[in-house]
Amino acid sequence: MGRALIRPIVIMGAMYAFLKFVLPNIPGSAEIPASLIILYLLLTLSGIIIFETLSAESKDAFWGPMQRFLTGENIGGLQPLRYGILVLFPVLVGWQTYNATAPSDSPPAENRVIHPAPPGEYTGLANPVPKTPENIMQGKGFYAAFCSPCHGANFDGKGPAARGYNPPPANFADPTTIAMLQESYLFWRIKKGGVGLPIEGMPWKSAMPRWELELPDEWIWKIIMGEYDGAHQTPRTWE
């Protein structure tokens, strides 16, 4: 096997090791799901193929050994390995088929829609409560009483009750959560809770209470103001 063939194998191995063992151990990181690892490995592989086939010489150096091996042209002692590969491919396909169809006790991977579209009556609603320091403070107070047990005193989704929920409560300090949404969206989610999620929000995995049963609308609007202020975020607006 030529160097041109060993190099891609090393690159693929190194990339896998990086994604599987290095990246998850960086402080603040976590294990990467298999779906994403496969995506990144496919990208790496396509990059290798593109680069190695840029010229006739590099293409021959890269593809030539594989072609010779597969066609059995002057491979000498590697002939048994070639037959081994011939057997291995159907075995791999069979194994993959078995894995895909065999009964398993683990639930399937899910693609939950975190932010389903709100019902029409909630779009475009403006917060009717004036943004005064008093109202924001009052909102933070309501937040501390009703929301912080799950969403955390620091608005980071790490309240004392958070460990009991899967999926965990939203982290408002993350700039990719409430900062991407308008206030009216939060109003809908707080008011209707997990049971008010639409069909596209299935499998409706949210333990968010339906706060409209306990809190008046004005309090909910104040809580929204308190959340944004406490998490140092601003709602999405068009002005």
Partner 1 sequence: MHGEDGLKERTSYGAGRHGAWLVSLLVATGCMVLPAIGLAAESTAAGPTEYRDIPYIGSRNLIWIVAQLHLLLAGFVLGVPIFAWLCEIIAWKSGEQRYDKLAKEFTKLLTSSYATTALFGGILLFLLIVFYPKLMNYLTDIFFPSFLLYCLLFLFETATLYLYWYGWDAMQEGGKKTLHIFLGFLLNFFAIFIMIVPNAWATFQSSPVVISEGTAIERAWAATWNPTWWPINIHRLIANVVLGGYICGAYAGVRYLAAKTAADREHYDWMGYVGNFIGVFGLLALPFAGYWLMREIYQYNQQMGITLMGGFLSWLFIIQAMLIGVLFLGSNYYFWLGITYRIPGSESQYRKPILWMLISLLLCLAVWMTPHSLVASIEEAQKMGGAHHPLLGVLGVMSAKMTVSNLMILITFMSFVMYWRAGKQDTAPWARLAKAVMGAILALASIAVIILGVWGYFVPAIVRINYFSTSQVAIVIFVILTITPLTALLLKSAKTTTEMVWGRMPPRAGYALVLNAVMVILLMALMGYARSSSRVHWHVYGVMRDTSPYAYSPALGSASLIMVFCTFFFCLLVAFIFWVATMGDKAKGAQGAVKRDLPHGIPAMAGGAPERREA
Question: What is the distance of C-alpha 131 from the center of its chain?
Answer: 34
5 CB neighbour count, 10 Å cutoff: 16
Q: Are 23 and 31 in contact (CB under 8 A)?
A: no
According to DSSP, residue 216 is labeled -
Q: Is 16 in the site for partner 1 (CB under 8 A)?
A: no
Which residues between 71 and 110 bind partner 1 (CB under 8 A)? 106-110
Tell me the residue length of the chain: 239
Q: Is 20 in the site for partner 1 (CB under 8 A)?
A: no
Q: Are 157 and 169 in contact (CB under 8 A)?
A: yes
Q: Is 203 in the site for partner 1 (CB under 8 A)?
A: no
Distance CA 204, CA 197 (A): 6
Q: How far is the CB of 81 from partner 1 (least distance, A)?
A: 28
Whose Cβ is closer to partner 1: residue 94's or residue 119's? Answer: 119
Distance CA 222, CA 146 (A): 12
Binds partner 1 (CB under 8 A): choice among 77, 90, 102, 200: 200
Q: Is 114 in the site for partner 1 (CB under 8 A)?
A: yes
Binds partner 1 (CB under 8 A): choice among 10, 26, 87, 100: 26
Q: Is 40 in the site for partner 1 (CB under 8 A)?
A: yes
Which residues between 145 and 184 bind partner 1 (CB under 8 A)? 166-168, 174-176, 179-180, 182, 184
Q: What token pair was written down for 37? A: 């690892």
Residue 28's H or E segment, with its range, is none
Binds partner 1 (CB under 8 A): choice among 117, 137, 161, 195: 117
**Amino acid (one-letter) located at 175:** P
Q: How far is the CB of 2 from partner 1 (least distance, A)?
A: 17
Q: Is 2 in the site for partner 1 (CB under 8 A)?
A: no
CA 130, 134, 140, 145 dihedral sign is negative
Q: Is 63 in the site for partner 1 (CB under 8 A)?
A: no
Q: Is 31 in the site for partner 1 (CB under 8 A)?
A: yes
Q: Is 200 exposed, middle or buried (0-12, 13-18, 19+ CB in 10 A)?
A: exposed
Query: Residue holding tokens 């993350």?
Result: 174
Residue 105 main-chain phi, psi, to 5 deg: -90, -5
Which window, 42-50, 71-79, 83-91, 138-146, contacts partner 1 (CB under 8 A)?
Answer: 42-50
Q: How far is the CB of 54 from partner 1 (least distance, A)?
A: 6
Residues binding partner 1 (CB under 8 A): 23, 26, 28-36, 39-40, 43-44, 46-47, 50-51, 53-57, 59, 106-120, 123-124, 166-168, 174-176, 179-180, 182, 184-185, 200, 234-239
